[in-house]
């Protein structure tokens, strides 16, 4: 069973390489926070049920609360984690349930924000 979905960016590595490592860590942590926030903020409340292809709806809120940004998980690395099996099935769908993408879209949404934040980090 896959335990991570890794999305790569053309933009960020080159931008990050241009700043000191201490600031790179700050930017990466900020990016993980933005991904976590976007993943949760687009979830609507249940009812109604979520639309196929859209983000999941919150029933109890437990799943949304379990989406966490974790800083410093490795050298120049942060992770956004979601409760395991439900997260994968929501993101990728099952045979009978269409995907409810929320983590991958949150990452795509955060990339330009991370790039835009670089000047603020470098020139506070």
Partner 1 sequence: MSVAVPTGTIARWLYSTLSGDPTLQGLLGGAPPATRIYERVMPEGAASYPVVIFAHQADADVRPAGKQFVMVDALYQIKVVDKEESFAEEAEPVAAQVFALLDNQSGAASDGGLVLYCQRQRSFELDEVDEGTSYRHLGAIYRILAQ
Among 18, 21, 52, 62, binds partner 1 (CB under 8 A): 52
Nearer to partner 1, 21 or 41 (CB): 41
Q: Is 96 in the site for partner 1 (CB under 8 A)?
A: yes
DSSP codes joined into one string, 83-103: -HHHHHHHHH--SSS-----H
Structural tokens at position 77: 């690395």
Residues in 26-45 that interact with partner 1 by CB under 8 A = none
Q: Which residues bind partner 1 (CB under 8 A)?
A: 1-2, 5-8, 52-53, 88-89, 91-99, 101, 104-105, 107-109, 111-112
């Amino acid at each position: 069973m896959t335990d991570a979905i890794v999305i790569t960016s053309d933009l960020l590595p080159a931008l990050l390489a241009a700043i000191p490592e201490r600031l790179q860590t700050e930017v990466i942590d900020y990016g993980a926070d933005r991904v976590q926030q976007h993943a949760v903020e687009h979830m609507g409340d249940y009812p109604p049920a979520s639309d196929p292809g859209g983000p999941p709806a919150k029933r109890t809120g437990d799943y949304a609360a379990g989406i966490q940004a974790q800083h410093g998980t490795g050298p120049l690395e942060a992770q956004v984690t979601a409760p395991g099996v439900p997260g994968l099935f929501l993101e990728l769908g099952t045979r009978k349930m269409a995907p409810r993408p929320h983590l991958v879209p949150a990452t795509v949404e955060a990339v330009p924000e991370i790039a835009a934040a670089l000047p603020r980090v470098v020139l506070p």
